[in-house]
Amino acid sequence: MRPFEGIRVLDFTHVYAGPFATFQLAVMGAEVIKIEAPGKPDQIRLEGVDEALNEQGLGTSYVFNNQGKKAISLNLNSDEGRQIAVQLIESADVLVENYPGTMEKYRLGPEQARAINPLLIYCEMTGFGQNNPFAGRPAYDPVIQAASGMMSLNGTADQEFLRVGPPLIDYGMGAQTAFAIASALFQRNLSGKGQVIEANMLDAALVMMSPLVANAIHAGKTEQRTGNVQIDRPGYGVYPCHDDNLMIGAFTLEHHRKLFNVLALQEIIEIPEDFDRQWVRDNGPQLREKMLQCLAHKSAAEWEMVLNNADVPAARVRDLHEMLEQEQGQRALHSQFERVPDKPYTAPIAAFHFAEHGPHLDQHCAQHGEDNATVLAELGYDDNAIAALADKGVI
């Protein structure tokens, strides 16, 4: 039995952050019902590299976050649609939404929904939070990267500000939201009460930057951008090798000591036997220059093996598709990576693995409104009533 079996989640979310949060609950056993407006599906259904799949509403950008969910279409502007939503809320454990202000318009906001079902965990996801000057503003991942200061940390000082390529804030917020919901469900078992959760992307971004936030507050300024090089730690950065680039993660003094030994730097530069952080900092540029010379004589793959064998963190900088094509297949045998139902490929479904009854995909990705009949039948609607709702545009 997976942890959330028997838990029903109503998913009124779109794009990435919300769907990823509910997807994490789904792979752990929750019944997740994704609710979209008739004729206006989640916009990410139409996004991906395969136009044929986009036309089916199953774009590759959508599928990975929405496996294992039922999908219904529901017009909340209609009385019948709102009544169906009320019935679903009565039966639900969790409601997640990321349309700021929209649920209140339908009298289904947190106070109204918890009046319907006092045990409900109601989770609101927004861009900037509530009760502040930015409240209600629309937001996407790169907008929050800009607003949070994340873009001011990437690249080098002489470059324009850079966004992080992957939608890290969306997924960081989704993971934090899933944890908040799991915590609220555990809390409900102790208190016998429902809960209202407010999660926002700006706070999620700041949490993800905690060490840099702390430094900026303490120093009264943002740290200088140094790109792939850390000035005070020459063993912590990207280096060109004979054929490719290598990321070395020698963060501690002990890592630096092992790195210097592997590269035999003591033969070309005087290194004190008991060097400290200040010495490494003061001699950073000279050490980096000598390291560049040493690393140029072997391939990145060779250095990766040598350094890891010496207990120095290092990895060749890989192309994403290359990594998936050449290495992930074997790695997947020992990670939470599963075949997508009804698809010829596998996908990462969680960042953790249980010895038993852990994350698992057991249902294909549903098309827009695919489960209307199934879900409504559970609420007591017969075939004629369901057909009538469809004729009216309620579903």
Q: Cα 42 to chain center, whole Å?
A: 18
Of 50, 170, 274, 311, the active-site residue reads 170
What phi and psi values does residue 150 have, to the nearest 5 degrees?
-60, -40
H or E stretch including 124?
Answer: strand 121-126
What residues does 246 pair with on adjacent strands? 239, 316
The CA distance from 15 to 20, in Å, is 9
Contact 37, 74 (CB under 8 A): yes
Give Dmax (Cα) for the chain: 86
Give 266's contacts (C-beta < 8 A, 6+ positions apart).
260
Is 282 part of the annotated catalytic residue set?
Answer: no
Give the tokens for residue 309: 């064998």
Coil vs helix vs strand at 24: helix
Residue 68: closest CA among 167, 123, 2: 2
Phi, psi (rounded to 5 degrees) for 364: -70, 170
SS3 334: helix
Rounded-to-integer distance, Cα 65 and Cα 24, Å: 8
- 221 burial via Cβ count (<10 Å: 0-12, 13-18, 19+): exposed
Joined tokens for residue 389 = 């709702």
The sign of the torsion formed by the CA atoms of 270, 271, 272, 275 equals positive
Half-sphere exposure in the Cβ direction for 232 (13 Å, CA): 10
Q: Which residues are catalytic?
A: 170
